[in-house]
Amino acid sequence: MQNTIRIITRNSELALWQAHHVAQKITELYPTITTQIIGVTTEGDRFLDSSLDKIGGKGLFIKELENSLLKNEADIAVHSLKDLPANLCSSFSIAAVLEREDSADVLISNKYQNLEDMPNGTVIGTSSLRRSSIINRHYPKLQVKLLRGNIITRIKKLDNNEYDAIILASAGVKRLGLSQRIKQSLSKDIFIPSIGQGALAIEVLQSNYFMVELLSKLTHQKTFIEVSSEREVGRVLGASCSVPIGVHAIIQNHSLKLDAIILDKETGNCVSSTIIGEAKDYITLARACASKLVGNGALNILEKYK
Protein backbone atom coordinates (compact mmCIF):
# COMPACT_ATOMS: atom_id res chain seq x y z
CA MET A 1 0.00 0.00 0.00
CA GLN A 2 1.17 3.51 -0.79
CA ASN A 3 2.65 5.15 2.33
CA THR A 4 2.05 8.83 1.45
CA ILE A 5 -0.68 10.50 -0.57
CA ARG A 6 0.21 13.91 -1.98
CA ILE A 7 -2.82 16.23 -2.11
CA ILE A 8 -2.78 19.21 -4.47
CA THR A 9 -5.12 22.11 -3.72
CA ARG A 10 -5.60 25.82 -4.17
CA ASN A 11 -4.07 28.07 -1.51
CA SER A 12 -7.28 29.74 -0.34
CA GLU A 13 -8.52 29.25 3.22
CA LEU A 14 -11.49 27.23 2.05
CA ALA A 15 -9.53 25.04 -0.37
CA LEU A 16 -6.97 24.26 2.33
CA TRP A 17 -9.77 23.42 4.77
CA GLN A 18 -11.19 21.04 2.18
CA ALA A 19 -7.82 19.40 1.60
CA HIS A 20 -7.24 18.90 5.33
CA HIS A 21 -10.76 17.48 5.64
CA VAL A 22 -10.02 14.93 2.93
CA ALA A 23 -6.65 14.15 4.53
CA GLN A 24 -8.40 13.47 7.83
CA LYS A 25 -10.90 11.13 6.15
CA ILE A 26 -8.07 9.23 4.47
CA THR A 27 -6.20 8.87 7.76
CA GLU A 28 -9.32 7.66 9.55
CA LEU A 29 -9.85 4.99 6.90
CA TYR A 30 -6.16 4.09 6.41
CA PRO A 31 -4.21 4.90 9.62
CA THR A 32 -0.89 3.74 8.15
CA ILE A 33 -1.05 6.23 5.27
CA THR A 34 0.32 9.74 5.73
CA THR A 35 -0.80 12.73 3.68
CA GLN A 36 1.04 15.74 2.32
CA ILE A 37 -0.86 18.88 1.30
CA ILE A 38 0.56 21.04 -1.50
CA GLY A 39 -1.01 24.46 -2.02
CA VAL A 40 -0.81 26.34 -5.32
CA THR A 41 -2.16 29.62 -6.68
CA THR A 42 -4.21 29.02 -9.80
CA GLU A 43 -4.85 31.28 -12.78
CA GLY A 44 -8.38 31.84 -11.52
CA ASP A 45 -6.95 33.17 -8.25
CA ARG A 46 -4.56 35.53 -9.99
CA PHE A 47 -7.00 37.34 -12.29
CA LEU A 48 -9.69 38.92 -10.12
CA ASP A 49 -10.73 41.94 -12.17
CA SER A 50 -13.00 40.14 -14.64
CA SER A 51 -15.94 37.78 -14.31
CA LEU A 52 -15.08 34.11 -14.75
CA ASP A 53 -17.27 33.70 -17.83
CA LYS A 54 -15.17 36.39 -19.57
CA ILE A 55 -11.76 34.82 -18.86
CA GLY A 56 -12.33 31.09 -19.19
CA GLY A 57 -14.74 29.92 -16.52
CA LYS A 58 -14.12 27.81 -13.45
CA GLY A 59 -11.65 25.68 -15.37
CA LEU A 60 -9.08 28.33 -14.44
CA PHE A 61 -9.23 26.97 -10.89
CA ILE A 62 -8.44 23.37 -11.82
CA LYS A 63 -5.95 23.53 -14.70
CA GLU A 64 -2.84 23.82 -12.51
CA LEU A 65 -4.09 21.09 -10.19
CA GLU A 66 -4.66 18.70 -13.07
CA ASN A 67 -1.24 19.53 -14.51
CA SER A 68 0.29 18.54 -11.17
CA LEU A 69 -1.40 15.16 -11.45
CA LEU A 70 -0.15 14.69 -15.00
CA LYS A 71 3.42 15.58 -13.96
CA ASN A 72 3.25 13.19 -10.98
CA GLU A 73 3.78 16.09 -8.60
CA ALA A 74 0.66 15.02 -6.70
CA ASP A 75 -1.50 11.92 -6.36
CA ILE A 76 -4.92 13.50 -5.87
CA ALA A 77 -6.58 16.89 -6.29
CA VAL A 78 -9.35 18.14 -4.00
CA HIS A 79 -12.04 20.39 -5.47
CA SER A 80 -15.39 21.91 -4.74
CA LEU A 81 -17.38 19.68 -7.08
CA LYS A 82 -19.21 22.68 -8.54
CA ASP A 83 -15.86 23.81 -10.03
CA LEU A 84 -15.44 20.62 -12.07
CA PRO A 85 -16.94 20.51 -15.58
CA ALA A 86 -19.63 17.90 -16.20
CA ASN A 87 -17.42 16.47 -18.94
CA LEU A 88 -14.02 15.76 -17.42
CA CYS A 89 -11.04 15.35 -19.70
CA SER A 90 -10.60 11.63 -20.42
CA SER A 91 -7.28 11.62 -18.55
CA PHE A 92 -9.01 12.25 -15.21
CA SER A 93 -11.56 10.58 -12.99
CA ILE A 94 -13.51 11.46 -9.85
CA ALA A 95 -12.36 8.85 -7.35
CA ALA A 96 -14.65 9.90 -4.49
CA VAL A 97 -17.44 12.32 -3.60
CA LEU A 98 -17.69 13.18 0.09
CA GLU A 99 -20.88 13.88 2.03
CA ARG A 100 -22.49 17.11 0.97
CA GLU A 101 -22.79 20.19 3.15
CA ASP A 102 -25.77 22.53 2.83
CA SER A 103 -26.18 23.23 -0.89
CA ALA A 104 -28.02 26.56 -0.54
CA ASP A 105 -26.89 30.08 -1.38
CA VAL A 106 -26.80 32.49 1.55
CA LEU A 107 -27.03 36.26 2.00
CA ILE A 108 -24.44 38.08 4.07
CA SER A 109 -24.99 41.74 4.90
CA ASN A 110 -24.21 44.30 7.59
CA LYS A 111 -27.30 46.34 6.67
CA TYR A 112 -30.16 44.03 5.73
CA GLN A 113 -31.75 40.82 6.98
CA ASN A 114 -33.10 39.55 3.65
CA LEU A 115 -33.34 40.29 -0.05
CA GLU A 116 -37.04 41.10 0.10
CA ASP A 117 -36.60 44.17 2.33
CA MET A 118 -33.78 45.79 0.36
CA PRO A 119 -34.50 49.21 -1.19
CA ASN A 120 -33.99 50.13 -4.85
CA GLY A 121 -30.36 50.24 -5.93
CA THR A 122 -29.00 48.06 -3.13
CA VAL A 123 -25.61 46.73 -4.33
CA ILE A 124 -25.30 42.94 -4.27
CA GLY A 125 -21.91 41.32 -4.82
CA THR A 126 -21.51 37.99 -6.62
CA SER A 127 -19.22 36.41 -9.20
CA SER A 128 -21.87 33.90 -10.29
CA LEU A 129 -23.70 34.38 -13.58
CA ARG A 130 -26.42 32.07 -12.23
CA ARG A 131 -26.96 34.16 -9.09
CA SER A 132 -26.86 37.48 -10.91
CA SER A 133 -29.35 36.19 -13.50
CA ILE A 134 -31.73 35.08 -10.74
CA ILE A 135 -31.45 38.45 -9.01
CA ASN A 136 -32.12 40.29 -12.28
CA ARG A 137 -35.22 38.14 -12.82
CA HIS A 138 -36.71 38.10 -9.31
CA TYR A 139 -35.24 41.26 -7.74
CA PRO A 140 -34.80 43.73 -10.64
CA LYS A 141 -34.67 46.71 -8.26
CA LEU A 142 -31.30 45.49 -6.90
CA GLN A 143 -27.94 46.30 -8.48
CA VAL A 144 -25.53 43.42 -9.12
CA LYS A 145 -21.79 44.19 -8.90
CA LEU A 146 -18.95 41.79 -9.70
CA LEU A 147 -17.32 40.26 -6.63
CA ARG A 148 -14.24 38.05 -7.02
CA GLY A 149 -11.74 36.59 -4.57
CA ASN A 150 -11.88 33.92 -1.88
CA ILE A 151 -14.52 33.95 0.84
CA ILE A 152 -12.44 35.91 3.35
CA THR A 153 -11.57 38.52 0.71
CA ARG A 154 -15.21 38.87 -0.30
CA ILE A 155 -16.38 39.37 3.26
CA LYS A 156 -13.63 41.98 3.83
CA LYS A 157 -14.91 43.89 0.79
CA LEU A 158 -18.40 43.80 2.28
CA ASP A 159 -17.07 45.05 5.63
CA ASN A 160 -15.25 47.85 3.78
CA ASN A 161 -18.64 49.01 2.45
CA GLU A 162 -17.84 48.19 -1.17
CA TYR A 163 -21.14 46.24 -1.24
CA ASP A 164 -24.41 46.39 0.67
CA ALA A 165 -24.68 42.59 0.67
CA ILE A 166 -23.03 39.57 -0.90
CA ILE A 167 -24.23 36.09 -1.85
CA LEU A 168 -22.04 33.06 -1.20
CA ALA A 169 -22.41 29.28 -1.06
CA SER A 170 -23.55 28.21 2.38
CA ALA A 171 -21.14 25.26 2.42
CA GLY A 172 -18.00 27.37 2.23
CA VAL A 173 -19.22 29.86 4.82
CA LYS A 174 -20.04 27.07 7.26
CA ARG A 175 -16.83 25.17 6.64
CA LEU A 176 -14.83 28.25 7.60
CA GLY A 177 -16.81 28.67 10.82
CA LEU A 178 -18.54 31.85 9.66
CA SER A 179 -22.17 30.77 10.07
CA GLN A 180 -22.81 33.76 12.33
CA ARG A 181 -22.40 36.05 9.31
CA ILE A 182 -25.35 34.49 7.47
CA LYS A 183 -28.47 36.66 7.43
CA GLN A 184 -30.65 34.60 5.09
CA SER A 185 -30.57 31.13 3.57
CA LEU A 186 -31.95 31.68 0.09
CA SER A 187 -34.79 29.51 -1.14
CA LYS A 188 -33.65 26.64 -3.36
CA ASP A 189 -36.94 26.99 -5.24
CA ILE A 190 -35.73 30.35 -6.57
CA PHE A 191 -31.96 30.14 -6.14
CA ILE A 192 -31.61 26.63 -7.53
CA PRO A 193 -28.01 25.77 -6.60
CA SER A 194 -25.12 25.25 -8.94
CA ILE A 195 -24.41 21.71 -10.12
CA GLY A 196 -22.62 19.85 -7.31
CA GLN A 197 -22.75 22.80 -4.90
CA GLY A 198 -21.78 21.83 -1.35
CA ALA A 199 -19.98 18.59 -2.27
CA LEU A 200 -16.25 17.83 -2.32
CA ALA A 201 -14.64 15.74 -5.05
CA ILE A 202 -11.32 13.93 -5.20
CA GLU A 203 -9.85 13.90 -8.70
CA VAL A 204 -7.16 11.47 -9.85
CA LEU A 205 -5.61 10.26 -13.07
CA GLN A 206 -7.98 7.75 -14.64
CA SER A 207 -5.03 5.40 -15.13
CA ASN A 208 -4.30 5.38 -11.39
CA TYR A 209 -6.48 2.35 -10.69
CA PHE A 210 -4.93 1.81 -7.27
CA MET A 211 -5.89 5.28 -6.08
CA VAL A 212 -9.38 5.03 -7.59
CA GLU A 213 -10.06 1.84 -5.66
CA LEU A 214 -8.40 3.08 -2.47
CA LEU A 215 -10.44 6.29 -2.33
CA SER A 216 -13.77 4.88 -3.50
CA LYS A 217 -14.56 3.94 0.10
CA LEU A 218 -14.72 7.65 0.97
CA THR A 219 -17.73 8.17 -1.30
CA HIS A 220 -21.02 9.10 0.38
CA GLN A 221 -23.57 7.18 -1.66
CA LYS A 222 -26.56 9.51 -1.26
CA THR A 223 -24.44 12.53 -2.20
CA PHE A 224 -22.95 10.61 -5.12
CA ILE A 225 -26.37 9.84 -6.60
CA GLU A 226 -27.61 13.40 -6.12
CA VAL A 227 -24.61 15.13 -7.67
CA SER A 228 -24.24 12.53 -10.42
CA SER A 229 -27.78 13.25 -11.57
CA GLU A 230 -27.05 16.99 -11.50
CA ARG A 231 -23.85 16.55 -13.49
CA GLU A 232 -25.61 14.35 -16.03
CA VAL A 233 -28.10 17.14 -16.75
CA GLY A 234 -25.19 19.49 -17.40
CA ARG A 235 -23.37 16.89 -19.50
CA VAL A 236 -26.37 16.17 -21.74
CA LEU A 237 -26.94 19.87 -22.32
CA GLY A 238 -23.26 20.58 -22.88
CA ALA A 239 -23.57 23.38 -20.34
CA SER A 240 -20.21 24.88 -19.45
CA CYS A 241 -19.37 26.65 -16.20
CA SER A 242 -20.10 29.92 -18.03
CA VAL A 243 -23.81 29.11 -18.44
CA PRO A 244 -26.35 30.46 -15.88
CA ILE A 245 -27.68 27.04 -14.96
CA GLY A 246 -28.86 25.62 -11.66
CA VAL A 247 -29.52 21.93 -11.05
CA HIS A 248 -30.35 20.48 -7.67
CA ALA A 249 -31.23 16.93 -6.66
CA ILE A 250 -32.42 15.61 -3.31
CA ILE A 251 -33.24 12.08 -2.22
CA GLN A 252 -36.02 11.46 0.28
CA ASN A 253 -37.45 8.01 1.05
CA HIS A 254 -35.77 6.45 -2.00
CA SER A 255 -37.33 9.10 -4.25
CA LEU A 256 -35.21 11.61 -6.15
CA LYS A 257 -36.48 15.10 -6.98
CA LEU A 258 -34.50 16.98 -9.59
CA ASP A 259 -35.00 20.71 -10.22
CA ALA A 260 -33.23 22.54 -13.02
CA ILE A 261 -33.25 26.03 -14.49
CA ILE A 262 -31.41 27.83 -17.28
CA LEU A 263 -31.61 31.61 -17.38
CA ASP A 264 -31.01 34.35 -19.93
CA LYS A 265 -29.42 37.18 -17.97
CA GLU A 266 -30.12 39.80 -20.66
CA THR A 267 -33.84 39.17 -21.17
CA GLY A 268 -34.76 37.67 -17.80
CA ASN A 269 -36.29 34.66 -19.57
CA CYS A 270 -35.74 31.20 -18.17
CA VAL A 271 -36.71 27.58 -18.74
CA SER A 272 -37.12 25.11 -15.91
CA SER A 273 -37.82 21.46 -15.31
CA THR A 274 -38.75 19.27 -12.34
CA ILE A 275 -38.55 15.47 -12.45
CA ILE A 276 -39.39 13.01 -9.66
CA GLY A 277 -38.75 9.28 -9.66
CA GLU A 278 -36.95 6.40 -7.97
CA ALA A 279 -33.44 7.29 -6.88
CA LYS A 280 -32.00 4.13 -8.42
CA ASP A 281 -32.96 5.51 -11.84
CA TYR A 282 -31.01 8.73 -11.29
CA ILE A 283 -29.27 8.79 -14.68
CA THR A 284 -32.51 8.14 -16.57
CA LEU A 285 -34.22 10.87 -14.53
CA ALA A 286 -31.40 13.30 -15.27
CA ARG A 287 -31.68 12.70 -19.00
CA ALA A 288 -35.44 13.16 -18.81
CA CYS A 289 -34.89 16.44 -16.97
CA ALA A 290 -32.44 17.64 -19.63
CA SER A 291 -34.86 16.58 -22.39
CA LYS A 292 -37.66 18.53 -20.75
CA LEU A 293 -35.44 21.62 -20.59
CA VAL A 294 -34.66 21.28 -24.29
CA GLY A 295 -38.35 20.88 -25.04
CA ASN A 296 -39.04 24.09 -23.13
CA GLY A 297 -36.51 26.05 -25.18
CA ALA A 298 -33.21 25.68 -23.33
CA LEU A 299 -31.12 25.45 -26.50
CA ASN A 300 -32.10 28.98 -27.50
CA ILE A 301 -30.58 30.26 -24.25
CA LEU A 302 -27.55 27.95 -24.30
CA GLU A 303 -26.65 29.18 -27.78
CA LYS A 304 -26.00 32.66 -26.35
CA TYR A 305 -23.34 31.38 -23.95
CA LYS A 306 -21.24 29.30 -26.34
Instruction: Tell me the residue range of the domain where 141 lies.
Output: 105-185
Q: How far apart are CA 286 and CA 22, in angstroms?
A: 28
Q: Is 83 a catalytic residue?
A: yes
Query: Residues 204-231: what's their mean pLDDT?
Result: 96
Same domain, 175 and 60: no
**Would you say residue 50 lies in a domain?**
yes
Instruction: List the beta strands (DSSP E) in 81-231.
Output: 92-97, 105-109, 123-126, 143-146, 165-169, 182-185, 200-205
Same domain, 14 and 79: yes
Percent of the chain at pLDDT above 90?
Answer: 82
Same domain, 67 and 127: no
Contact 87, 231 (CB under 8 A): no
**Residue 255, CB-side half-sphere exposure with 13 Å CA sphere:** 6
Same domain, 110 and 96: no
Query: Residues 62-70: what's their mean pLDDT?
Result: 91
Same domain, 209 and 273: no
**Would you say residue 9 lies in a domain?**
yes
pLDDT digits (tens, 9 = 90+) for 1-58: 578 999 999 999 999 999 999 999 999 999 999 999 999 886 555 444 545 444 444 5
Same domain, 30 and 142: no
Contacts of 119 (CB under 8 A, 6+ apart): 141
- Find the CATH number of the domain harbouring 280: 3.30.160.40
Q: How far apart are CA 240 and CA 202, in angstroms?
A: 20
Same domain, 249 and 176: no
Among 164, 185, 206, where does a domain finish?
Answer: 185
**Would you say residue 191 lies in a domain?**
no
**Would you say residue 278 lies in a domain?**
yes
Same domain, 50 and 112: no
Query: Residues 138-165: what's their mean pLDDT?
Result: 95
Residue 64: per-residue pLDDT: 86
**Would you say residue 228 lies in a domain?**
no
- Find the CATH number of the domain harbouring 35: 3.40.190.10
**Residue 236, CB-side half-sphere exposure with 13 Å CA sphere:** 21
pLDDT digits (tens, 9 = 90+) for 91-149: 999 999 999 999 999 999 999 999 999 999 999 999 899 999 999 999 999 999 999 88
Identified catalytic residue from 83, 164, 259, 264:
83
Residue 42: per-residue pLDDT: 66
Query: Residues 46-72: what's their mean pLDDT?
Result: 67
Task: Count up the domains in the chain and report the number.
Answer: 3
Same domain, 113 and 95: no
Query: Residues 159-186: what's their mean pLDDT?
Result: 98
pLDDT at residue 78 tops 90? yes
Among 185, 209, 241, where does a domain finish?
Answer: 185
Same domain, 89 and 113: no
pTM for this model (two decimals):
0.92
Same domain, 90 and 112: no
Contacts of 143 (CB under 8 A, 6+ apart): 121, 122, 123, 124
Residue 1: per-residue pLDDT: 59
**Would you say residue 179 lies in a domain?**
yes
Same domain, 213 and 272: no
